Structure 1
Amino acid sequence: MNPLKVGLLTLAAMASVVVMSLKITQNQSGFGKHVTYKTLVKDASGIFEKTPIKVAGINAGKIKSIELAGRDALITFEIQEKVRVTPNAKLKIKSVGLLGDKFIDIDLGAETDKRLEEGSFISTEGGEGFDSLAKDASAVLKDVKEITAGIKEALRDDEGRNVVKQIVENINEVTASLRRITDNNEEKVNKIIDDIEQLSSQLAHETDRYQKDSLMADLSKIGPILDKVDATVSDLRVIVADVKDGKGTVGKLLRDDAVVDQVSQTLSSVNRLVNRINNIEADIGLSTGANTRTGSDTRFDLDIYPAPERFFRLGIVTNDFGPQSEKETDTFTSTNGGPETKTSVRKINKDDFKFNFQIGRRIQRFGLRAGLIESTGGVGVDYFFPDWGIRTGMELFDYQKDAGPNLRLMGEFKIWNVLFARVAGEDLISKDGKQSATISMGLRFSDQDLAALIGIFAR
Structure 2
Amino acid sequence: MKKLVTPFRVGLLVIAAGAFFFAFYMFARKGGLSDKDSTAVWAYFRDASGLSAKSRVQIAGIPVGEISSITLEGTRAKVWLKIRRDVELHEDAVLTKRSESLLGDFLLDLNPGTEQAPAMQDNGQIKRVIDSQGMEAIFQSLTQITADIQQVTGALRDVLGGEKGAGSLQRIVENLIHLSESVDDTVRSSGEKLNAILTNFQGVSEDVRGVTRENEAEVTRIIDNIEGITKDVREVLNTVKTVVGSNQGDLKEGVSSLKDTIQKLDRTLGNLEKITEGVRNGDGVVGTLLTDRQLGQKLTDAVSDVSDYATRLTGLQTEVGLQATYLVAQGRSKNSLSLRLIPKPDKYYLLEIIDDPRGLVEVQVVQNNPPASGQPVVQTQKIIKETFKISAQFAKRYYFTTLRFGLIESTGGVGADLHFLDDALTLKMDAFNFSAEELRYPRLRATLRAQAFDHLFVTAGMDDILNAQQRDTATQRLIAGRDFFFGGGLFFTDDDLKALLPSVPAP
Instruction: State the TM-score, normalizing by the size of structure 1.
Output: 0.44
Higher helix proportion, which one? 2
| Higher RCO (Cα < 8 Å, 6 or more apart) | 1
Report which of the two structures shows the higher radius of gyration computed on alpha carbons: 2
